[in-house]
Amino acid sequence: MVAQNPLLERLASGGAIGSYWLELGSIAIAEVIAEARPDAIIFDTQHGLWDKQGLFNGFAAIRRKSQPVVRIADDSPTAIGEAYDLGATGVIVPLVETPAQARSIVAAAKYPPLGRRSAGGVRPMLDFERYASQANRSLLLAVMIETSAGLKNAAAIAAQPGIDLVFIGTSDLALSLGVFRQIGPKHERAVQSILAACRKAKTACGLYTSDMKAALERVSQGFQWVVVGNDRDSLQAGAKADMARFARARGEAKSRP
């Protein structure tokens, strides 16, 4: 099941990951988005509508088209193990603020002797001997820095063995820094300092980007994981554009003699 993880291979080679973010909990949308072949599809269980059965079925819907990654709700061993047990090839843990917390997260993500992850889950148990022999080195583990406390400890968090990626939660970081209504130089300095800490630690760094323009700009700066789109914004933008075109056409029709 695990074998090679193309996400880890891409990051190790210095390449960039273009991911798509899903929060609406729709398996059908996941299947449609997978046809675009994003490097990874992120299923958001912290703020999104995904439940356990939905994740299990959603992963099946994108199989061999994209890699399933879960942004889990918290840093608990249960949340971490459950996402991997469902078949995720990567987990993103939110609100990481200290190196001790990062170490605990790594322990929860790894099987003994490297950690304390419990054996189980439907997909791993299809061939557990093979899965367990590969999981510790083949499953991606990312932690999110998105608070002023996490920013302060970014260097130590990024240097923690077992962390494959530091992912910046840009909105929560802005809230924590008190600049959400007017994101500017203070926020950008924080983002760039986290990137610098990751470079020093030789750990990949990514961040949430709201659209393709922002994603491409961040890749040019050296970020290795970006978000090229999300289901909610894509659907809403498409619907608004369609209705705006219809309204203009309807208005033109009414104005004709």
Domain of residue 113, CATH code: 3.20.20.60
> Residue 231 pLDDT > 60, yes or no?
yes
Residue 24 in domain: yes
Q: Assign 251 a pLDDT band (cuts: 50, 70, 90).
A: confident
Classify strands 17-22 and 165-168 as parallel, antiparallel or unpaired.
unpaired
How does pLDDT run across 177-209, given as a tens digit for each residue?
999 888 899 999 999 999 999 999 999 999 999
Residue 127 in domain: yes
Tell me what pLDDT residue 191 has.
98
Tell me what pLDDT residue 254 has.
56
Residue 44 in domain: yes
Instruction: Give the phi and the psi of residue 101 in degrees, each rounded to 5.
Output: -65, -40
Placement of tokens 């093979």 in the chain: 130
> Residue 59 pLDDT > 70, yes or no?
yes
Overall domain count for the chain: 1
Residue 234 in domain: yes
Q: What is the mean pLDDT of residues 151-156?
A: 98
Of 3, 14, 47, 255, the catalytic one is 47
* Residue 111 belongs to domain spanning: 6-255
114 vs 27: CA distance, rounded Å: 34
Residue 142 in domain: yes
Residue 16 in domain: yes
Q: Assign 240 a pLDDT band (cuts: 50, 70, 90).
A: very high
Q: How many CB atoms lie within 10 A of CB 119?
A: 14
Q: What is the pTM of this model?
A: 0.94
Tell me what pLDDT residue 225 has.
98
Active-site annotation holds for 47: yes
Residue 245 in domain: yes
Residue 1 in domain: no
Q: What is the mean pLDDT of residues 93-102?
A: 98
